[in-house]
Amino acid sequence: MVCISDIHFGANLSCHISHFIESALDPGSNPDRIVIIAGDMTQHASKPEYREATNMLRSLLDEGIRVVLTPGNHDFGDWIGEYFYTNRKARNRYRSLTEPVFDQKEIVAVEDYDSIMRCGNNIFVALRSTHRGKARSLGIIGINRIREKQVDWAASKLSSMDINGVMIHLVTHRSLWRDSGDRHDAIYQPGYIERNLLEKFNFHSVIHGHNHRYLFAGTLTPRLGVPILRLSLPTISDRNRKNRIGYVRWDAPYREIPEFVAL
CA dist 72 and 6 (Å) reads: 8
pLDDT confidence of 170, banded at 50, 70, 90?
very high
Tell me: pLDDT of 36 over 60: yes
> Which range among 85-89, 119-123, 151-155 shows the weakest confidence by mean pLDDT?
85-89
Upper half-sphere CA count for residue 149 (Cβ side, 13 Å): 4
Upper half-sphere CA count for residue 62 (Cβ side, 13 Å): 7
More confident site: 186 or 150: 150
Domain residue spans in the chain?
2-262
Which CATH architecture group holds 2-262?
Answer: 4-Layer Sandwich (3.60)
pLDDT at 44: 87
pLDDT at 133: 59
pLDDT 10s digits, 142-168: 567 899 999 999 999 999 999 999 999
pLDDT at 180: 60
Tell me: pLDDT of 136 over 70: no
pLDDT at 73: 86
Q: Is the pTM of this model over 0.85?
A: yes
pLDDT 10s digits, 205-259: 999 999 899 999 999 999 999 999 999 999 998 877 778 899 999 999 999 999 9
Tell me: pLDDT of 65 over 60: yes
More confident site: 150 or 131: 150
Bridge partners (DSSP) listed for residue 218: 229
CA dist 195 and 205 (Å) reads: 15
3-state SS of 193-230 is HHHHHHHCCCCCEEEECCCCCCEEEEEECCCCCCEEEE
Q: What is the mean pLDDT of residues 118-133?
A: 91
Bridge partners (DSSP) listed for residue 125: 116, 170
Q: Which has the closest alpha carbon to 186: 194, 175, 197, 195?
A: 175
Tell me: pLDDT of 138 over 90: no
pLDDT at 234: 95
pLDDT confidence of 130, banded at 50, 70, 90?
confident
pLDDT at 82: 55
Distances, alpha carbon 38 to alpha carbons 15, 23, 161, 195, 211, in Å: 20, 17, 24, 22, 11
Q: Which has the closest alpha carbon to 68: 107, 32, 40, 97?
A: 107
β pairing state of 122-126 and 34-37: unpaired
pLDDT confidence of 83, banded at 50, 70, 90?
low
Percent of the chain with pLDDT over 90: 72
Does residue 150 contact residue 128 with C-beta atoms inside 8 Å?
Answer: yes
